[in-house]
Amino acid sequence: MCVGHLKLLSYDQVAMPYQWEYPYLLSIVPSGFGLLSFPRNNISYLVLSMISTGLFSIAPLIYGTMEMFPAAQQLYLHGKAYRVIFGISAVSIMYLVLVVAVQVHAWQLYYSKKLLDSWFTSTQEKKRK
């Protein structure tokens, strides 16, 4: 997407980006909130990181799977690929990228939840003393 917008290559060599790729660029926001939560074990920033991971990371990926489904169906049923990258259909590569991205964001949510539970119990113990 950046190659097309920065005009590093001509438009006939670069495919137009899918619509879900624009909101997915905001997936850096959850990482920022997560990094802000570390210095003082700030639970509120960590919760914001988890919520924004769902909104800016997982939701665009789900929308992307739905947006690319007709092209994947066309490839599966008729063997016709509209876009090709290095001899492989672009839909196949994009679905592989989506699977990896969903795994990374799922790990992010899982470990954020573990960290949130740990911080929450430690703050509850401090309040009891």
pLDDT tens figures, 77-123: 888 877 777 778 888 888 999 999 999 999 999 999 999 999 888 87
For residue 13, name the pLDDT band (cuts at 50, 70, 90).
low
Which residues sit opposite 89 in a β-bridge?
84
pTM here?
A: 0.78
> Encoding tokens for residue 90?
């672009």
Phi, psi for residue 6 in degrees, rounded to 5: -85, 0
pLDDT tens figures, 45-69: 999 999 999 999 999 999 999 998 8
